[in-house]
Amino acid sequence: MSETQTPPEVAAAASVPAALDLSDLTLIGVFRGPESARVLLRLPSGQIAEHALGDQLSEGRIVSIGEDWITLARNGRETVLRMPGA
pLDDT tens-digit map of 31-75: 988 888 999 999 999 899 999 999 999 999 999 999 999 999 999
Distance, CA of 72 to CA of 53 (rounded, Å): 10
Q: 26: how many CB neighbours lie within 10 A of its CB?
A: 19
* CA dist., res. 47 & res. 33, Å (int): 24
**pLDDT at 15 (0 to 100):** 66
pTM for this prediction: 0.74
* Residues 76-86: tens digit of each pLDDT: 999 999 998 77
What is the tens place of the pLDDT at every residue in 10-25? 777 666 666 667 778 9
